[in-house]
Chain A
Amino acid sequence: MTRTVKEGGMGRLHPLVDLRMDRSWFEELQARIDRNGPWDDWTLYQLAMEAEQSRRIESFEELQCIRFLNGLEPMKHQTETAVRVLHDMGGRAILADEVGLGKTIEAGLILKEYLVRGLVRKALILVPASLVLQWVRELNTKFGITAIAQKRAHTWNYDVVVASIDTAKRDPHRELLLGTDYDMLIIDEAHKLKNKKTTNYQFITQLRKKYCLLLTATPVQNDLEELYNLITLLKPGQLGGHGEFASNFVVGKRMPKNEGQLQEALSSVMIRNRRGEGDVKFTKRIVRNIPLHLSKEEMDLYEAVTAFVKERYEESGGNLTSMLSLVTLQREVCSSRDSVFLTLVNMFKKTAEDSPVRGKIWELIEVIKQIKSNTKAEKAMELVRESDGKAIIFTEYRATQEYLLQYFRGSDITAVPYRGGMGRGKKDWMMDLFRGRAQVMIATEAGGEGINLQFCSRIINFDLPWNPMRVEQRIGRVHRLGQTEDVQIYNLCTLGTIEEHIVNLLHEKIDMFESVIGELDHILEKFEKEESMEERLARVLLEARDDQGIAQGIEHLGHSIRKLAEEPEEMATESLPEDGESAPTPSRRGSRAARRHAINRMLDGASTIVEVDSP
Chain B
Amino acid sequence: MNDKQVQRFLTKYIEATGCHIVEKSPAHMTVKLSPAADRELTNRPYYWSYVDRAGVEPETMTYLFVTDGQRYDEQQLRQAEAETEAAAELGEMEQAAQSALSRSIGFVHGSITGVRTPREDLYFGSRKLDQLFEAARVGGSYVYLFQEPERRSLNPFDSIAYTAWLGVNLRVEFACDMKREEIHSYGISLATGNIQENFHDRLAALRLTPKLPANVHTARNGLTLARALTVVETHLERKLRAADFKWAEGAARRLDEELVILAHYYEKMLESAEEEQREAIATQYENRKEEIRWQYEPRVTVSAINCGVFHLEGID
Contact = CB atoms under 8 A, between A and B. Distances in A.
B140 A41 contact: yes
B16 interface: yes
B58 to A, nearest CB: 20
B304 interface: yes
Contact of B304 (A13, A25, A146, A241): A25
Contacts of A51: 9, 132-133, 136-137
A60 B178 CA distance: 6
A30 B306 CA distance: 13
Interface SS of chain A: mixed
Interface stretch (A206-214, A479-487, A523-531): A206-214
A249 to B, nearest CB: 15
Interface string A514-526: 0000000000000
A437 B240 contact: no
Contacts of A49: 140, 169, 185, 200, 305-306
Given A45-B140, A46-B204, A237-B261, A86 B178 contact: yes
B144 A39 contact: yes
B308 A21 contact: no
B266 to A, nearest CB: 7
Contacts of B193: none
B265 A208 contact: no
B303 A22 contact: yes
Contacts of A28: 141-142
A72 to B, nearest CB: 10
Given A47-B13, A67-B125, A210-B291, A40 B178 contact: no
Given A58-B180, A87-B178, A241-B264, A40 B140 contact: yes
B221 to A, nearest CB: 12
Contact of B291 (A17, A144, A208): A208
Contacts of B132: 51
B308 A44 contact: no
Contacts of A352: none
B302 A43 contact: no
A19 B140 contact: no
B121 interface: yes
Given A21-B233, A39-B143, A236-B262, A45 B308 contact: yes
A413 to B, nearest CB: 15
B242 to A, nearest CB: 10
B287 A39 contact: no
A233 to B, nearest CB: 11
Q: Range of interface residues on chain B?
A: 35 or more
Contacts of B233: 9, 21
Contact of A236 (B137, B181, B266, B300): B266
A54 B294 CA distance: 28
Contacts of B174: 60
A383 interface: no
A15 to B, nearest CB: 9
B9 to A, nearest CB: 6
Nearest to B302: A21
Nearest to A62: B180
Interface residues of A, number: 77
Given A40-B139, A48-B141, A19 B300 contact: yes
Contact of A117 (B179, B298, B300): B179
Interface stretch (B82-90, B112-120, B244-252): B244-252
B104 interface: yes
B295 A60 contact: no
Contact of A19 (B204, B291, B302): B302
A1 B126 contact: no
B109 interface: no
A26 B229 contact: yes
Contact of A17 (B179, B294, B299): B299
Contacts of A144: 125-127
A209 B295 CA distance: 9
B265 A240 contact: yes
B38 to A, nearest CB: 15
A90 to B, nearest CB: 4
A30 B225 contact: yes
Nearest to B296: A90
A267 to B, nearest CB: 16
B226 to A, nearest CB: 8
A238 interface: yes
Nearest to A143: B125
Given A49-B200, A146-B127, A5 B303 contact: yes
Contacts of B208: 42
Given A1-B134, A16-B298, A43 B16 contact: yes
A50 interface: yes
A146 B126 CA distance: 10
Nearest to A86: B178
A186 to B, nearest CB: 15
B306 A13 contact: no
Interface string B176-202: 011111110100000000000000100
Contacts of B295: 90-92, 210-211
Contacts of A56: 171, 181-183
A45 B136 CA distance: 7
B124 A16 contact: no
B126 A42 contact: no
B177 A3 contact: no
Contacts of A91: 177, 295
Interface in A323-352: none
Given A236-B262, A238-B261, A5 B183 contact: no
A91 B296 CA distance: 10
A209 B291 contact: yes
B180 A33 contact: no
A52 interface: yes
B44 interface: no
Contacts of A24: 303
B300 A48 contact: no
A173 interface: no
21 contacts: A5-B303, A9-B233, A13-B300, A18-B299, A19-B301, A26-B307, A39-B145, A39-B308, A40-B139, A42-B210, A45-B143, A45-B306, A47-B16, A48-B305, A49-B169, A70-B126, A119-B178, A181-B294, A211-B295, A241-B265, A241-B268
Given A45-B306, A237-B261, A240-B265, 16 more contacts: A13-B237, A16-B249, A20-B299, A28-B142, A33-B144, A43-B16, A44-B140, A45-B143, A47-B136, A47-B140, A49-B140, A52-B305, A56-B181, A70-B125, A91-B177, A236-B262
Interface of B: 1, 5, 9, 12-13, 15-17, 69, 103-104, 121, 123-127, 132-137, 139-145, 168-169, 171, 173-175, 177-183, 185, 200, 204, 208-210, 225-226, 229, 233, 237, 240-241, 245, 247-249, 252, 254, 258, 261-262, 264-266, 268-269, 284, 287-288, 290-291, 294-296, 298-309
Closest 3 CB pairs between A and B? A237-B265, A68-B125, A44-B140
